[in-house]
Amino acid sequence: MLEIKKAEKQFGERTVFSGVSFSAEAGETACIVGPSGCGKTTLLRAVAGLVPLSDGTVLLDGEDITSWKAEQRPVVLLFQEALLFPQLTVLENIAYGLKYGRRKLGRRARLAESRAMLQKIEMEQWENAYPVELSGGQKQRVALARALVLKPKLLLLDEPFSSLDASLRQSLRTWVRSFLREEEVTSLFVTHDKEEAVMMSDRLIVMKDGAVQQQGTPETVYHQPENRAAADVIGDGLYDERFIPASSLTIGAADGYSGIIEHPQFMHGYRFYRVNVPSLKQTVVVLSDTLYEEGEAVKLSVTEEKENGAL
């Protein structure tokens, strides 16, 4: 459905990225994960036609849309902020694009389709509310409905949950993930959050230092980062010529990597320690039930090799 070939973008003399190639099948969510400033938003804007690529091709549903104007492209971009029209009700916000956009419908059809969409996002009772009356998560659901009512061939999402608090982000991710799957929406999602990337994607693309470092299923990329850059972005472990998953590391053995305990972390009922390993200039979070002090020097040893990080 979507194929990006050798995409390159320069601003003046500066190359933001080059040689970016990947594809997504119909109904799939491809996710680009990378640090701030690696060009994620720029790439999405280029796919939407809002900025030209310096080089490369964008194919959508078999058609080369590289030089199409933004308004001709059957894609919708969803931003970090919901950006609803404050003077319009929820229903009017959803219906808006059907009046002026690529899919022009009469008033009755507009309202019927918008109401159906409102039902899908489980917000029927908010039809006549104004955006100011909604929570952050509700606003993002309305923004999603407003995008999907246009039946785009491709939905572009630019860190749509980053303005929400942690627990809301978590529940909205799950909701959006199953919504996109049920509706079989092809989407390209960008984030700098690795947990979000692994959870949301069918296909994961790691971008860093102006290039794609690795791509594959979220399972593969998470458990087997191929290089240091990919490991920095996505991995939980250490990279020392090869990737050593955190699940293979033990604190407290007589020898191994010298590390310094930074602080404990409590998750899912377990105690972990964030350990700094100066020789590798990396930090890693390791499970341990022993008590350590902050600043304590420890050794991290590699226990047995575990396939795919599984215990």
Ligand X SMILES: Nc1ncnc2c1ncn2[C@@H]1O[C@H](COP(=O)(O)OP(=O)(O)OP(=O)(O)O)[C@@H](O)[C@H]1O
Residue number with the smallest Cβ distance to Mg ion: 41
The yes or no reply on residue 41 touching ligand X (CB under 6 A) is: yes
- Whole-number Å distance between alpha carbons of 114 and 107: 10
Find the helix or strand (DSSP H, E) in which 148 lies: helix 136-148
Minimum Å gap between C-beta 140 and ligand X is: 17
Q: Is the dihedral of CA 286, 290, 292, 297 positive or negative?
A: negative
Smaller CB distance to Mg ion: residue 41 or 213?
41
Minimum Å gap between C-beta 212 and Mg ion is: 17
| Residue 299 amino acid letter | K
Q: Which of residues 21-40 bind ligand X (CB under 6 A)?
A: 34, 36-40
- Whole-number Å distance between alpha carbons of 197 and 261: 28
Minimum Å gap between C-beta 177 and ligand X is: 20
Longest dimension (CA), the chain: 75
Minimum Å gap between C-beta 39 and ligand X is: 4
Minimum Å gap between C-beta 279 and ligand X is: 29
When binding is defined by CB under 5 A, the residue of 16, 22, 30, 41 that contacts Mg ion is 41
When binding is defined by CB under 6 A, the residue of 2, 16, 20, 238 that contacts ligand X is 16
Smaller CB distance to ligand X: residue 36 or 167?
36
The Cα-based distances of 173 to 128, 159, 195, 211, 286 in angstroms read 26, 11, 11, 27, 26
User: Is 128 exposed, middle or buried, given 0-12, 13-18 or 19+ CB atoms closer than 10 A?
Assistant: exposed
Q: Which of residues 188-217 bind ligand X (CB under 6 A)?
A: 192
Tokens read off for 102: 């690529």
Q: Which residues bind Mg ion (CB under 5 A)?
A: 40-41
Q: Which residues bind ligand X (CB under 6 A)?
A: 11, 16, 34, 36-42, 192
